Structure 1
Amino acid sequence: MPKVLVSDKLSETAVQIFRDRGVEVDYLPDLGKDKEKLAEVIGQYDGLAIRSATKVTEKLLEKATNLKVIGRAGIGVDNVDIPAASKKGVIVMNTPFGNSVTTAEHAIAMMFAVARQLPEASASTHAGKWEKNRFMGVELFNKTLGVIGAGNIGSIVIDRALGLHMKVLAYDPFLSPERAKEIGVTKVELDDLLAKADFITFHVPLTEKTKNILSREAIAKLKPGVRIINCARGGLVDEEALAEALKDGRVAGAAFDVFAVEPATASPLFNLPNVVVTPHLGASTTEAQENVALQVAEQMSDYLLTGAVQNALNMPSVTAEEAAVMGPWIKLAGHLGAFVGQMTDEPIKAINVLYDGVAATMNLNALNAAVIAGVMKATNPDVNMVSAPVMAKERGVQVATTTQDKAGVFEGYIKLTVVTDTRERSIAGTVFSDGKPRFIQIRGINIDAEVGQHMLYTRNKDVPGVIGALGMTLGDLGVNIANFTLGRSAEGNDAIAILYLDEAISDAALAALQNTGKFLQARRLQFEV
């Protein structure tokens, strides 16, 4: 039974989901604040469910010897060292959709608040003043809203803004013209948006590319009288430069829920007129907090029990349905990678994968990850589908994928070719109707080999006496053959054999085969079955 630690506050309903699904769970909501105690116990767990209090550092991950998945109840994962987790082979999931509506609604609310100066007007009225003429706001109707980031939350904001009869411009490098038309926006470049928008709202993550996207230089390009809303991430806006623009009147107002440094006890934006600030409340509704908690419990349980991967930040997502169908193909992909990884003694420069027929219709990112993991396990047994692509990239290994329609007798197959400085090595395989992976071609020679845990590969010239020498030598040494497959390129040319053995062949047996003089190559192989 997999075991999960919940180290931050999560709803009891979410905790119960783990139990109902058959996952053992320890609910210790204050443990995340005690990093020493957390480090002492983390090695016991397969999964870690967190919010924002728990800091998952490289140091903590070193102690997490059994950890397979980290689930963040919410969208932000600033408190997780994702590169370190990837190197350790730990999947990092978040819940990007559980609080989308809540965050989008908060952005719209902040836009109304700054347009009508609601917080200041409320404070004034509470103070017994009746300053009706002081608070002259502006309508949203017919104004131009610039949305930076038209993804999940941004698209909800766009929908709400269109309902308010605003004109909407969107800047998003990943927004296709077709999608822009579908959601009813005009796609523009950033400078165009800055020059035309009456309101600007941000809905992008904080990355190297988006950090200070509204910089001092960008602020100089803004339409006079614009109002800025940021409910996405602190650090997207140069707060000091924006404060200056607010003071000199170039910017009419701002509404910020997030800040470059949080908790924000001080900011250049604080105490300025017509600046609305809230303490990172974008996801703070009862519905959103419950939604993300339930979602992370479901996602982690699915992965630990079925292998389904949802909303992972460092691994391709695989639905439960895909996991059921793709399981044998993922196993095959790993076997193909393991074969070439064990057969190749020099550095690999490139990994090329061809997917044919039904294999080409599957989740190729997941299959590629399995192939790369199989290859890399030859030199690092601890690698998995999460860490392998990272390792390949660090080593400069180029990965290329090709697909094609069904071309042959099989409904589908995978062909793997690895390239080194001196040669290429290839192998192909398929999955039969019994769900068992088979090798169907090695070195261009057609075969039909079932994959077992302990295997032996030999290569020889196609001459009489080789099979006898192989059988006699192994028999004399007490090695039992479970399955024996032969193939040759042409009569008298290269021939290969691949044997499925009951136990791993010893160094002495390999040496005995070489001493017969019949074999050009004899290699021991191990597979995870």
Structure 2
Amino acid sequence: MTRARTRIGFLMPDATFRRVFGQWDLRRLETHPDLELLADRPLDLGQPEDRSVLARAELLITGWGTQRIATETLGKLPELRAIAHSAGTLRPIVDPAVYARGIVVSSAAGANAIPVAEFTMALIVLGAKHAFWAADRIRSGADDADVEAAWPSVGARARTVGVIGASTIGRLVLARLRDMDLEVLLADPTLDPSRAAELGARLVPLEELAGISDIITVHAPSLPSTRGMIDRRLIARMRPGTVLINTARGDLVDQEALADRLEQGDLVALLDVADEEPLPRGARLRRCPNTFLTPHIAGSLGTEVGRLSAHAVDEAIAFATTGAFHDSISARAFALRA
């Protein structure tokens, strides 16, 4: 007896679809014997002809910009059993109603974490050498850029790196730090010292980490309990010369308190995220010394997005053939994720 094929549809903006999904991954979906691809393009619940097609979908592949799937939307998706998200965070699209209905969910957060960890490691090494300060000196026409004379401590050896959050990205960073001659600290309230040691770090309170780290890199999720966690008091604890890296979420850091400290000239901030994106033209951080800003580019870009589409297709095939995702995210895990 032939097994029924799992019906799949894309639900995301056309621009996201064209950016992420190439012909190779579409071909994998179209030709797999256990899958029925309802359309080789994204479908729109606002269009009657697409809505009737999506009403048959058992699995949705979502992505950046997908509309939030809440109770009202679920009413138009009576056959839906699974969501494979071809991006990182699920928070903008998955409402708790999804879990309440028993729909299983997967995310490409692990695939998207790889370039973020790579970007973070580049910032750690360049920040340790105060390379951005030196580049600014040269650009400004200074006759010298004596890094060792300008900063209390320099170099990517025998320094202390503090990692805030053993998230998916945080763990990838911790794994890469093992190859360097550094002391690694970790602040994460969900872990015990033995688990932190397994990850290659010494577990310490956040306040202690802030006070003794040469380089601090933020990888905590943005939750009501973590927003503003890098506050004025914590920033004041940081020693002169400390490098603060944030490739997580802008709202984890009190930006005004950070700007105040940066204007003193003794702290370095390497920031890929901001509380408001894009960072407003008048934002103080744009003018602060020793500040290197990038426009949220640590995640998948260009050729890197191929990992996201490949992950979503792999998950669709896994669900169709086994009834389960490889990287299923439970309701409990969802509550702790960014």
Higher strand share: 1
The residue that corresponds to 1:153 in the other structure is: 169
The residue that corresponds to 1:54 in the other structure is: 66
- Conserved in 2, the CA contact under 8 Å of 1:18 and 1:298? no
Q: CA separation in 2, counterparts of 1:195 and 1:124?
A: 28
| Structure 1 residue 247 corresponds to structure 2 residue 263 | yes
Report the residue type matching 1:20 in the other structure: T
User: Cα gap change, 1:316/1:230 in structure 2, threshold over 3 Å: closer, same or farther?
Assistant: closer
Match of 1:21 among 6, 24, 32: 32
| Structure 1 residue 88 corresponds to structure 2 residue 104 | no
Aligned residues: 312
- Conserved in 2, the CA contact under 8 Å of 1:212 and 1:235? yes
Q: CA separation in 2, counterparts of 1:27 and 1:72?
A: 17
User: Cα gap change, 1:270/1:44 in structure 2, threshold over 3 Å: closer, same or farther?
Assistant: farther
| Structure 1 residue 103 corresponds to structure 2 residue 116 | yes
Q: Which runs of 5+ in 2 are unaligned?
A: 334-338
Match of 2:225 among 188, 209, 233: 209
Q: CA separation in 2, counterparts of 1:37 and 1:113?
A: 50
Report the residue type matching 1:236 in the other structure: L
Match of 2:183 among 147, 156, 167: 167
- Conserved in 2, the CA contact under 8 Å of 1:269 and 1:275? yes
The residue that corresponds to 2:336 in the other structure is: none
Report the residue type matching 2:251 in the other structure: G
| Mapping for residues 116-155 of structure 1, pairs under 5 Å | 116-119=129-132, 122=135, 129=141, 131-133=143-145, 136=150, 138-155=154-171
Give the Å deviation of 1:308: 1.4
User: Cα gap change, 1:271/1:20 in structure 2, threshold over 3 Å: closer, same or farther?
Assistant: farther
Q: CA separation in 1, counterparts of 2:114 and 2:69?
A: 30
Q: Which runs of 5+ in 1 are unaligned?
A: 318-529
- Conserved in 1, the CA contact under 8 Å of 2:230 and 2:252? yes
| Structure 1 residue 303 corresponds to structure 2 residue 319 | yes
Give the Å deviation of 1:197: 0.9
Q: CA separation in 2, counterparts of 1:183 and 1:39?
A: 51
The residue that corresponds to 1:4 in the other structure is: 8
Give the Å deviation of 1:134: 7.0
User: Cα gap change, 1:287/1:176 in structure 2, threshold over 3 Å: closer, same or farther?
Assistant: farther
The residue that corresponds to 2:57 in the other structure is: 45
| Structure 1 residue 189 corresponds to structure 2 residue 205 | yes
TM-score, normalising length: structure 2 = 0.80
**Greater RCO, CA 8 A, separation 6+:** 2
What does the per-residue CA deviation read over 1:183-219, in whole Å, with 9 as the maximum and x for residues that have no partner?
Answer: 3321111111111111111122212222222122322
Match of 2:297 among 270, 281, 284: 281
| Mapping for residues 223-242 of structure 1, pairs under 5 Å | 223-242=239-258
Q: CA separation in 2, counterparts of 1:5 and 1:83?
A: 21
- Conserved in 1, the CA contact under 8 Å of 2:249 and 2:274? yes
Give the Å deviation of 1:222: 2.5
What does the per-residue CA deviation read over 1:377-407, in whole Å, with 9 as the maximum and x for residues that have no partner?
Answer: xxxxxxxxxxxxxxxxxxxxxxxxxxxxxxx
The residue that corresponds to 1:499 in the other structure is: none
Give the Å deviation of 1:236: 1.3
The residue that corresponds to 1:478 in the other structure is: none
Q: CA separation in 2, counterparts of 1:45 and 1:262?
A: 34
Q: Percent identity?
A: 27
